[in-house]
Copies of this chain bind each other. A is one copy, B any other.
Amino acid sequence: MAVRAAVAGASGYAGGEVLRLLLAHPEVEIGALTGNSNAGQRLGSLQPHLLPLADRVLQETTADALAGHDVVFLALPHGQSAAVAEQLGPDVLVVDMGADFRLKDAVDWEKFYGSAHAGTWPYGLPELPGARTRLAGSKRIAVPGCYPTAVTLALFPAYAAGIAEDQAVIVAASGTSGAGKAPKPNLLGSEVMGSMSPYGVGGGHRHTPEMIQNLSEVAGAQVSVSFTPTLAPMPRGILATCSAAARPGVTAEGVRAVYEKAFADEPFVHLLPEGQWPATASVYGSNGVQVQVALDEAVGRIIAISAIDNLTKGTAGGAVQSMNIALGLPEELGLSTIGVAP
């Protein structure tokens, strides 16, 4: 008996990616596809890479259109998920790929997003300690942001094991799809090809409080984060270069042991052999995560680096992974750790 899934916001990048993955999911049947400004258009003109859905037509995002599904994926602009979710009833699994239900602290939400806090849903990063239990059977899932996914997976083992001091310093490079499909001059191909540039410098990026929340939780103490995102000339991928001072007495072997233990049973996180470093191309289109860690003894810092596909593991793949857990399906169903390279 198939799981019937609807996607609200099917014309954007997150919506397109969740459809790409659901098409390959053996237990899911794709139901309603909705949009707003694009309602009435063929998906073939909006998402020409999804050939099997080319003749599907977008409906308006209404409660009626979304009714009658087992799962509804929300790929909406920030601030719009709560109103839609309320209309869906408590028995429908609602997976929000937006930011609305990620933060626990209403003050943080209001500071970074400038609107009233909608609430907090179980956080869909299964690799975090205790997360799978919270997700099992849940009817609401807040999918993590793309940067917090990459950064948390790189750093949480160190903070959970108590080998890293406070203040993580993070510089991450993201492909342009992370900035969405709404056309802006600075996202034109002419502008981004051949260029690297930072943005949201100095703590202003909305994903910063989410990283602090995750790392502080596993550390059992407040962790501060210096986060600088940069825009890289590629469509997909996040490379997160993270570091923190090592606690006194920490050794290179000790660091490695912590990470080996943390990821030993993880189906999607691949701790690379020593000496090999992550590359975003290796996880292109895949739900896999490449992680490597080292202790720079000259400066006493743990350097942890992760590579993900921001649209897959960083958004839609993470969403499907959490859906599988919530529905009691095998966690890996319909997901792959094989990148499209070169």
Contact = CB atoms under 8 A, between A and B. Distances in A.
A48 B196 contact: no
Interface string A1-29: 00000000000010010001001100000
A333 interface: no
Given A49-B341, A241-B171, A187 B190 contact: yes
Interface in A235-281: 235-237, 239, 241, 243, 270, 272-273, 276-281
A129 interface: no
Contacts of A175: 190, 194
A230 to B, nearest CB: 6
A340 interface: yes
B196 A280 contact: yes
Contact of A20 (B235, B296, B338): B338
A189 interface: yes
Contacts of A173: 173, 196, 230, 232
A319 interface: no
B198 A340 contact: no
A161 interface: no
A301 to B, nearest CB: 5
A90 interface: no
Interface stretch (A78-86, A178-186, A320-328): A178-186
A235 B342 contact: yes
Interface residues of A, number: 91
Contacts of A272: 44, 48
A52 B283 CA distance: 12
A130 interface: no
Contacts of A230: 173, 239, 241
B190 A279 contact: no
Contacts of A305: 198, 201, 228
A284 interface: yes
A86 B49 CA distance: 41
B190 A23 contact: no
Interface string A23-47: 1100000000000000000101101
A272 B189 CA distance: 23
A111 to B, nearest CB: 11
Interface string A138-165: 0000000000000000000000000000
Contacts of A298: 203, 224
Nearest to A20: B338
